[in-house]
């Protein structure tokens, strides 16, 4: 079995991965449980956000190819994430409600479906992956806060129940956060009732009669402390423990989660259980745009729909992402995407031209696995695909079989269109994405209606074991 090496943010080192458990099924395969912090569904995911899930997908594909039984959880944050990660500002869902004049529940449903559509469009393998919603785990979150309360880690302010980070001795250990500096530093804008600047909300009260928020919240629940809603961080601790058990083998997220969100997850989980929360922490670097930050709050974000409008397939973007290791910051430019789209198109065309019926080369396969097992070195694995294509020692049919096998790691060779690597028209692509989302949500009536709409534009949809295929009629 290939040894997998991953860079652990907790130690700052690249380490050999060791499974802690074996699956009860599947002939005692080693088991890996992975938890990935998922989207806050108050808006479309921008292409930077989507890097986090292509990264999670690459991990899953690697473990599957290396003989592991994989349990994967990507949570859907549909409540409690405030506009500032430090528990100030509005709930992002409530903010979207005001923007779109819909209920917070409808907003969450709409953008969750859009997220599933994005994953399908990017060929993310969702088989067996669980996508729990924070609002479905309120009971578990309340139980966790009660445990923390019983153990003396909480205190009450006028707006909620807070975690006292001073009482958790290892607070800030992930990424070696300068906790002292934070606590002694800037206090402007910080909730004055908090004992320490680093303390965070576990449960927030709905502000009621006589206050400016009276009656405005769509999402609120009864709790032992009063009607309210969970803080953002507690959902991940509760859902990871419920669905995977702790310690979780691998926990991931974008690099921005290290200082606050992940240190808070660690504090509440380890304070409650007394043992380690996650064995390996991994973080994907940002996709920047024109050298600056791409963020929903900046209003400069690009979605897969933006790419489709300019004629780029989501798969070209996947190819672009895999061209850098997950931990390397990337700069998105239209020129860089165009270069990736050209390479992606050439690869698709070359594949179409190769005959079926060959055998995959073990040598190439082993090299591809070794590259990806080296802390997900996808750029080297991509380059290897081109080497295989050019290798005269492989017959054309064997090349095709070899690339198909390597693709179980990369997921870039999906034959998504019959138009040989050229993108679908934007409106067809959008309807196809919506249909993929409807199918993920098992909404068959919507899926059939969308097929008819796509047909009206002159395209045919076929459902295959690899997903839907859209081609010109």
3-state helix, strand, coil in the chain (%, to 5): 45, 20, 35
Residue 345 binding result from Zn ion, ligand AMP, none, given CB thresholds of 5 to 8 Å by partner type: none
CB-wise, 295 or 404, nearer to ligand AMP? 295
Chain centroid, CA 187 distance in Å: 32
Cβ-closest position to ligand AMP: 254
What is the token pair recorded at 270? Answer: 């380890």
Task: Give dist(CA 18, CA 298) in Å, integer.
Answer: 40
CB-wise, 51 or 61, nearer to ligand AMP? 51
Residue 39 binding result from Zn ion, ligand AMP, none, given CB thresholds of 5 to 8 Å by partner type: ligand AMP
Task: Give dist(CA 281, CA 270) in Å, integer.
Answer: 15
Q: Residue 388 interacts with ligand AMP (CB under 6 A)?
A: no
CB of 450 closer than 8 Å to CB of 463:
no
End-to-end CA distance of the chain: 46
CB-wise, 256 or 427, nearer to ligand AMP? 256
Residue 256 binding result from Zn ion, ligand AMP, none, given CB thresholds of 5 to 8 Å by partner type: ligand AMP
Task: Give dist(CA 170, CA 95) in Å, integer.
Answer: 34
* Residue in the structure block whose two tokens are 């931990």: 327
Q: Residue 37 interacts with Zn ion (CB under 5 A)?
A: yes
Residues from 408 through 467 that contact ligand AMP (CB under 6 A): none
**Closest distance of CB 446 from ligand AMP, Å:** 24
Q: Residue 257 interacts with ligand AMP (CB under 6 A)?
A: yes
Residue 286 binding result from ligand AMP, Zn ion, none, given CB thresholds of 5 to 8 Å by partner type: ligand AMP
**Closest distance of CB 151 from ligand AMP, Å:** 29
Which range in 36-44, 68-76, 431-439, 463-471 contacts ligand AMP by CB under 6 A?
Answer: 36-44
Which range in 127-135, 187-195, 253-261, 266-274 contacts ligand AMP by CB under 6 A?
Answer: 253-261
Q: Which of 7, 40, 141, 223 binds ligand AMP (CB under 6 A)?
A: 40
Q: Residue 394 interacts with Zn ion (CB under 5 A)?
A: no
CB-wise, 262 or 430, nearer to ligand AMP? 262
The dihedrals phi and psi of 133, each to the nearest 5 degrees, come to: -95, 140
**Closest distance of CB 361 from ligand AMP, Å:** 34
* Residue in the structure block whose two tokens are 């993310």: 124
Q: Residue 121 interacts with Zn ion (CB under 5 A)?
A: no
Q: Omega before 5 cis (within 30°)?
A: no
Q: Residue 134 interacts with Zn ion (CB under 5 A)?
A: no
CB-wise, 100 or 256, nearer to Zn ion? 256
Task: Give dist(CA 390, CA 388) in Å, integer.
Answer: 5
* Total of chain residues touching ligand AMP, rule CB under 6 A: 15
Task: Give dist(CA 310, CA 257) in Å, integer.
Answer: 31
Q: Residue 223 interacts with ligand AMP (CB under 6 A)?
A: no
* Residue in the structure block whose two tokens are 């507690």: 234
CB-wise, 56 or 354, nearer to ligand AMP? 56
Residues from 294 through 333 that contact ligand AMP (CB under 6 A): 294-295
Beta-carbon contacts of 134 under 8 Å, excluding residues fewer than 6 positions away, are 75, 76, 77, 78, 79, 80, 141, 230, 235, 239
CB-wise, 256 or 415, nearer to ligand AMP? 256
Q: Residue 236 interacts with Zn ion (CB under 5 A)?
A: yes
Enclosing H/E stretch for 74: strand 69-74
The dihedrals phi and psi of 281, each to the nearest 5 degrees, come to: -110, 130
Residue 254 binding result from ligand AMP, Zn ion, none, given CB thresholds of 5 to 8 Å by partner type: ligand AMP
Give me the 259-298 binding string for ligand AMP, x by CB under 6 A, dash otherwise.
---------------------------xx------xx---
> b/e per residue, 405-425, with b = 16+ CB within 10 A?
bbbbbbbbbbebbbeebebbb
Q: Which of 4, 30, 34, 51 binds ligand AMP (CB under 6 A)?
A: 51
CB of 416 closer than 8 Å to CB of 316:
no
Residue 236 binding result from ligand AMP, Zn ion, none, given CB thresholds of 5 to 8 Å by partner type: Zn ion
CB-wise, 37 or 385, nearer to Zn ion? 37
Residue 391 binding result from ligand AMP, Zn ion, none, given CB thresholds of 5 to 8 Å by partner type: none
Task: Give dist(CA 201, CA 414) in Å, integer.
Answer: 44
Q: Residue 256 interacts with ligand AMP (CB under 6 A)?
A: yes
Q: Residue 234 interacts with ligand AMP (CB under 6 A)?
A: no
CB of 76 closer than 8 Å to CB of 114:
no
Which of 189, 104, 108, 191 minimizes the C-alpha distance to 155? Answer: 191
CB of 314 closer than 8 Å to CB of 423:
no
Question: Any idea how long the chain is?
Answer: 473
Task: Give dist(CA 140, CA 158) in Å, integer.
Answer: 23
The residues of the shown chain that bind ligand AMP, judged by CB under 6 A, are: 37, 39-40, 48-49, 51-52, 253-254, 256-257, 286-287, 294-295
Residues near Zn ion, by CB under 5 A:
37, 236
């Amino acid at each position: 079995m290939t040894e997998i090496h991953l860079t652990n943010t907790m130690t700052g080192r690249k380490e050999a991965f060791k499974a802690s458990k074996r699956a009860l099924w599947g002939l005692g395969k080693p088991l890996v449980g992975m938890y990935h912090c998922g989207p806050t569904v108050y808006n479309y995911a921008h292409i930077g956000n989507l890097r986090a899930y292509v990264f999670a997908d690459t991990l899953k594909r690697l473990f599957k190819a290396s003989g592991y039984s994989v349990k994967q959880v990507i949570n859907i944050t549909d409540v409690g994430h405030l506009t500032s990660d430090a528990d100030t500002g509005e709930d992002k869902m409530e903010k979207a409600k005001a923007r779109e004049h819909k209920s917070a529940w409808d907003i969450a449903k709409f953008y969750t479906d859009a997220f599933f559509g994005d994953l399908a469009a990017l060929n993310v393998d969702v088989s067996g992956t669980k996508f729990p919603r924070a609002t479905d785990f309120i009971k578990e979150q309340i139980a966790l806060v009660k445990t923390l309360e019983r153990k003396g880690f909480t205190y009450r302010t006028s707006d909620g129940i807070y975690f006292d980070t001073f009482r958790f001795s290892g607070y800030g250990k992930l990424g070696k956060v300068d906790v002292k500096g934070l606590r002694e530093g800037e206090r402007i804008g910080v909730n004055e009732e908090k004992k320490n600047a680093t303390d965070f909300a576990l449960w927030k009260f709905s502000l009621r009669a006589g206050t400016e928020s009276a009656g405005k919240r769509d999402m609120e629940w009864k709790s032992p402390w009063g009607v309210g809603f969970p803080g953002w961080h507690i959902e991940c601790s509760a859902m990871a423990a419920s669905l995977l058990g702790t310690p979780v083998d691998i926990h991931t997220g974008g690099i921005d989660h290290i200082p606050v969100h992940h240190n808070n997850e660690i504090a509440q989980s380890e304070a409650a259980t007394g043992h380690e929360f996650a064995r390996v922490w991994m973080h994907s670097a940002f996709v920047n745009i024109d050298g600056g930050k791409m963020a929903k709050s900046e209003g400069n974000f690009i979605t897969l729909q933006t790419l489709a409008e300019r004629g780029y397939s989501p798969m070209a973007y996947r190819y672009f992402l895999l061209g850098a290791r997950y931990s390397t910051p990337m700069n998105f430019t239209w020129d860089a995407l165009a270069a990736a789209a050209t390479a992606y198109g050439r690869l698709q065309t070359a594949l179409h031209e190769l005959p079926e019926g060959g055998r995959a080369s073990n040598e190439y396969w082993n090299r591809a696995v070794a590259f990806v097992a080296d802390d997900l070195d996808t750029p080297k694995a991509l380059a290897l695909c081109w080497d295989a294509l050019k290798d005269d020692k492989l017959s054309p049919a064997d090349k095709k079989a070899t690339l198909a096998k390597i693709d179980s790691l990369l997921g870039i060779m999906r034959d998504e269109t019959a138009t040989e690597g050229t993108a679908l028209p934007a409106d067809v692509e959008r309807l196809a994405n919506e249909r993929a989302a409807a199918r993920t949500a098992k909404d068959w009536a919507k899926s059939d209606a969308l097929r008819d709409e796509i047909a009206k534009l002159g395209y045919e949809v076929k459902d295959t074991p690899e997903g839907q295929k859209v081609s010109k009629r």
